[in-house]
Every structure is written in C-alpha cells, then in structure tokens.
Structure 1
Amino acid sequence: MDRLIIDPEFRDKIPPLTEDEFTLLEENILSDGAVFSPLIVWDGTILDGHNRYEIIQKHPELTYAVHKMSFDNRYEALSWICKHQLGRRNLTPQQKKYLIGQRYEAEKMAHGGDRKSTTAKSTVQNEQLKPKNAAVTRQRIADDAGTSESYVMRAGWYAQGVDAAEEALPGIKQEILTGAIKPTETAVAAVAKAAPEERSRLAADLKKSKDDRDKKPRPAYHKAPPAASRKAEMQKIAEISAEMERDKAPSTEENVLCSLDGEIVSFMELFDRIFQEYPRLLSDSHYRQELIQIMQKMKQYIADIEGGRTE
C-alpha cells in the first residue's frame, strides 16, 4: 500500500462526508472489492480521495489506483482541489461560495502572492495581484463556475471570513457550510476584517438566530413627509459617517469595491426582510408602483455612472 501524505489544508477544502455517507461509501467499495476512482496525488500528497484512502488503510486487501498530477506550487494544487470539488452535485450554496472564494484566494497567491511560507493560510490576506490581473482572475473563475465576477469577489471575502471564524471558534465552519446556521454573507466576511481580539465575539454572533439579532424594536417603514425629508437625509448621512469612522478605511480601490459590494448585498437583504414583513408592498398595485418610483432613483444613479459621470 502506498504511503501517502495527508495535508490538513488540502483535506479541509473538501466538504466532509457525514457518518452515513462514509459508511455507505465503505459498504459500496467492499461490495465491489476495489476502489474504482483513483486517488489523485501531487508530490505524494493526496488532493482527492481522502475518504477512499482511509477505507483502503482499514482494508489493505482492496485494489486501487493512484493518479499523479503536476503543479508548480501548492497554491496551484489548492486551486485544482477547489475547482474539482465544485463539480460535485450535492454542495450546499455555502460550500459552493466557500470553494469559489478559496479558489480565488489560491489563484491570487499562485500568480503573484507571497510563496515564502508553505503553510500560509488564506485568511485575511491582502490583494496580491494588480487590479487588472485580479479582475481577469475573477472573470476566469466566474466563467468556470457560471457566476459573476462580483460574486467571486464576495466569495473571496466570505471564504476569508469562514476561515477566520473557524480559527476563533473551532467547529463553526462546518455549521456555516452545511447550513446548520445561516448568518449573512456580510456578517461572515466581517469576521476576517475585524481586529483579532474582536473575532471570537463576532464568530459567536454568527450562531445567533435571526430572532436573537432582531430583539431590538424595528422601526415602521413609511414614506416620510416632505418637511422631514431633509432632516431624515442628514440623519442618515450622519449614521453612515459614524459607521465609516468605526471601521478602518479600505487601503486600495480593490478593497473599496469589495466594501461597496458588501453594502449592496446588505441593502438587498434589508429590502428582502422588508418585503417579507410588508408583503403588500409587492402585491398591492398602488404600493408596488410607488416602490418602483422610489427605486427608479437608484436606476437613474447607475445610468449616470454608466454615462460617464466622474464626480
């Protein structure tokens, strides 16, 4: 039997099997008397087949094959693992997002990142590629995964957040990726962006249910009277300014784009909650028309930027 290496970082990129799934796999292999799917290895290290290798170790009489692959560095190997796992049919949305984000992080490192440490983790890493190259990388991954470049960017921040949360609170990664808990994408990403001493608290907050998070009274959403519009706008601006002061300002245009993307996601999540609580906003034709008129302001804002607005 081959003596193969199990790299924890490689292994942990692969969604684990449940006990029932592992038992079924073992029963099927023993029934066949052989492991039909080869173990995929790089430089003696398993890339795919960790569960099959565990079964082989328990039953050395089984026959199996090993397929060797070649990569220039471990980050290329990590990228291959993530891409290969994305072909699985039974991934949760969270697992898919994590793998896409991990692939993006690995490819950033493989094509310009810090390769000095072979044990470097992908949590809280700075953008290592030039913006143009990073965009090309994101688009390539987006094309492979059938998603958008912005989704890949968010997935990178999400993956960093998952890993940072796991480091601060071991075991939470599995809960997030299986959907046992369902924190927002923004909340997960915030863990990686926070100072190290804040991450344990933020990771613990991810376990809180929506009801726990929403215990404070919710304001009623209604159209403000014209006389109060200016006051309400100024108050909102003040709240945004205070929030910006609490967080460290992004250091690059790339980080600003990621932050803006996260704000848009939060904005859409807020609207989804409002529509759930006030369904007549969508079902009643009068309210729906008013809602569309309000949202046209954002559409016009986007049109202005697309038209070449520079201020």
Structure 2
Amino acid sequence: MNPVLTIDPEFEAKCPPLTDDELSQLEENILEEGLVLMPLIVWNDTIVDGHNRYRIAQAHPGIEFRVHEKNFNNKYEALSWICKNQLGRRNLTPQQKKYLIGQRYKAEKQIRGGDRKSEQAKSSSQNGNLISPLKTCDRIAEETNTSKNYVIRAEHFSDGIDAAEEVLPGIKNDLLLGKYKPRETDVAAIAKAAPEERREKAEQLRVIPEKKPKADKESARSGTKRQQEVYATIDKSYEDMKDSKRVTEDSALVSLRYTARNMVETCDVLFTNFPGLLEKPDYKDQVIEIMQEPKQYILKLEGEPDNEQH
C-alpha cells in the first residue's frame, strides 16, 4: 500500500514544471508499466523529488510506487539538494538554470549562516597555515561552471522571478520557459520595488520589444569578407534545395556545415572586435549563458539521456 506523502509548495516551486506533453507522456509511461519505476525521494514523508509521479499514482488507484528517504538537517539543506538535483537535468532553459542556481545560493547561505565573512577572517588570522573554505558563491560557481558574479546575479534574478509570481501568478513559468525575455536587471528590480509598484513592473516584463527592421539584420551580416562569402554559400545552398529533384541529405549537410562554421567565425569576429565580451566577468557570464542553448542542442543530438523528470 502506498504511503501518504506531503507536498510542500516551497519545495515543489523549485522544480521546473513539465509541459502538458511531458506530463501526458509521463502518465502514459507509468500506466503502461503499471507502477512508478523511479522511487520518490522524500524527507520526513515530504516529497523532495517526484511530485508529478505522486499525483499520477494518486489519480490511478492500484499504481504503486517506492520511496527513498533522504536525511537533511533542515529545510535549507533540502532546498539546496532539490536545486542541485534539478540542475542535473539536460533540458533546462538558461532562465531555469539561472533561477535554480540563485535559489541554491540563497538556501546554502542560510545553511552556512551567510558567507561567514567575519568568521573566515577570524579563522585566517588565528590559523595562518589553514586555508579558509571557499565562500558559498565561489563554491557554487566552481561546481556549476559559472562565476561568482553570475551566482550573485542569479540570486537577484530568482528573487525577482518569485516577487513577480506573487503579484502576477503564472508569469514565473512564462519567464523561465523563455516566452518573454526581459532584461535580467528588470526582473531583479521587481523584488527591490515597493510592494505597491511590483504588479505594474511585473506586467512590463511581458512587453515584447519590437523587432528590429530588416536593415539592422542586414547590417549585422556585414563584417569580414569571409563572412559574406559564407552567407553567399548558404544562400546558394538554400536555392539549390528549392528544386525538389536536387534535395538530398548531402545538400542539407552542406548547408548545415556552413551554418555551423559561420556561427564559429561570427563569434571569433565579435570576440576580436569586442574583447571585453570575454575579459569582463559580467559580459563573459552572459556570453556563456547565451552559448548554453547551442550546447544543450548538441547534447540532445548526441542522445545524452535527461535526468528523470520530477
């Protein structure tokens, strides 16, 4: 007989929700198997991973599941674990990743009593031969392959997301899925605004900026002679593919190859002309964040399995 478990809204809020299609597929898989294959992770009978699986089991009497008990000293350790576990998923958007890192940082500061600057300073002075442990933000940055500044900004970003959700329910998921892509500073500003101003500021996050005129796109293409040659080759490839008799996998690969090469060359041109993109930490963090999308796409093509959905 399945145990009765508790769903903590604060814990569940850290888990990126499944899309309707993903949820339907998960339910279909469970019904086909006749049981929940992956155990639900719990702490004191409270779910920390497996909220969707639990609800599906509840909706279908007879579907059994197992539980695996985790031990945490407090809820902040549980929250940190949830964020780290969710960060292991391969299908996160850049916004979801940033939100989870920010929430993890926030939780772990509570575990460690903040960054303990005064305690570390005291330890360093009294024990000259001992190396103080990394500050929380530095450690998380190292573990998530980001930077200290990224982690700090991620906390402000996640606070803004939660503040916007409080006054405008539903916007959190839209923002984390990338339906709207406001500036990070505008999102963070929601949490810092006066309570009476938050709803208006949150609504402004949904304003979609006007598309740049075509001329801007064309000017963006201008650059090195090599880039122009690459675009010409791509255009010719597309023209060739319009003739159905000539469309083959080989011609498609030619187009794909030049597209990939152009992306690399465009990056090289930008980094050469604007060295601050890589030399200045704030800009470098954003460059790495932008490049997560093609990276995740490559991982998807390579067929690396996603972690079990929550």
TM category, shorter: 0.5 to 0.7
Q: Report deviation, 1:15.
A: 0.8
Q: Report deviation, 1:175.
A: 0.6
Tell me: CA distance 1:84–1:297, structure 2 relative to 1, closer, same or farther (3 Å): closer
2:90 aligned with 1:89, yes or no?
A: yes
2:13 aligned with 1:12, yes or no?
A: yes
1:129 aligns with one of 99, 115, 118: 115
Does the aligned pair in 1 maintain the 2:115–2:135 contact within 8 Å?
Answer: no
* TM-score scaled by length of structure 1: 0.64
Determine the C-alpha separation between the residues in 1 that align with 2:37 and 2:21. 20
- Superposition pairs for residues 267-278 of structure 1, below 5 Å? none
Q: Report deviation, 1:73.
A: 0.7
Q: Name whichever of 139-148 and 30-39 sits farther off.
A: 139-148
Determine the C-alpha separation between the residues in 2 that align with 1:31 and 1:296. 54
Determine the C-alpha separation between the residues in 1 that align with 2:30 and 2:277. 57
Determine the C-alpha separation between the residues in 1 that align with 2:91 and 2:272. 41
Q: Report deviation, 1:200.
A: 1.1
Does the aligned pair in 2 maintain the 1:39–1:53 contact within 8 Å?
Answer: yes
2:80 aligned with 1:79, yes or no?
A: yes
Q: Report deviation, 1:135.
A: 6.4
* Root mean square deviation of aligned Cα: 3.3
Tell me: CA distance 1:292–1:54, structure 2 relative to 1, closer, same or farther (3 Å): closer
| Match of residue 218 from structure 1 | none
User: Deviation string for 1:150-193 (max 9, x for gaps)?
Assistant: 11111111001101111121111011001111111111111112
Tell me: CA distance 1:162–1:276, structure 2 relative to 1, closer, same or farther (3 Å): farther
Q: Report deviation, 1:60.
A: 2.8
Does the aligned pair in 2 maintain the 1:158–1:189 contact within 8 Å?
Answer: yes
Determine the C-alpha separation between the residues in 2 that align with 1:62 and 1:301. 54
Does the aligned pair in 2 maintain the 1:135–1:149 contact within 8 Å?
Answer: no
Tell me: CA distance 1:172–1:37, structure 2 relative to 1, closer, same or farther (3 Å): same
Tell me: CA distance 1:284–1:205, structure 2 relative to 1, closer, same or farther (3 Å): farther
Determine the C-alpha separation between the residues in 2 that align with 1:174 and 1:189. 16
Tell me: CA distance 1:292–1:67, structure 2 relative to 1, closer, same or farther (3 Å): closer
Does the aligned pair in 1 maintain the 2:141–2:148 contact within 8 Å?
Answer: yes
Does the aligned pair in 2 maintain the 1:92–1:177 contact within 8 Å?
Answer: yes
2:28 aligned with 1:27, yes or no?
A: yes
| Match of residue 202 from structure 2 | 203
Tell me: CA distance 1:297–1:95, structure 2 relative to 1, closer, same or farther (3 Å): closer
Q: Which one-letter code corresponds to 1:188 in the other structure?
A: V
- Superposition pairs for residues 259-274 of structure 1, below 5 Å? none
User: Deviation string for 1:111-168 (max 9, x for gaps)?
Assistant: 21xxxxxxxxxxxxxxx43348796111221222122221111111100110111112
Q: Which one-letter code corresponds to 1:150 in the other structure?
A: N
Number of aligned positions between the proteins: 224
Q: Which one-letter code corresponds to 2:195 in the other structure?
A: P
Percent identity over paired residues: 53
Q: Which one-letter code corresponds to 1:9 in the other structure?
A: E
Q: Report deviation, 1:277.
A: 8.3
Tell me: CA distance 1:281–1:109, structure 2 relative to 1, closer, same or farther (3 Å): farther
Structure 1 portions without partners, runs of 5+ = 113-127, 215-274, 286-290, 303-311
Does the aligned pair in 1 maintain the 2:101–2:155 contact within 8 Å?
Answer: yes
2:165 aligned with 1:178, yes or no?
A: no
| Match of residue 42 from structure 2 | 41
1:279 aligns with one of 208, 220, 225: 220
Structure 2 SS opposite 1:210: coil
4+ runs deviating over 4 angstroms: 131-135, 275-278, 280-285, 291-302
Does the aligned pair in 2 maintain the 1:158–1:185 contact within 8 Å?
Answer: yes
Q: Which one-letter code corresponds to 2:10 in the other structure?
A: E
2:65 aligned with 1:64, yes or no?
A: yes
Tell me: CA distance 1:61–1:191, structure 2 relative to 1, closer, same or farther (3 Å): same
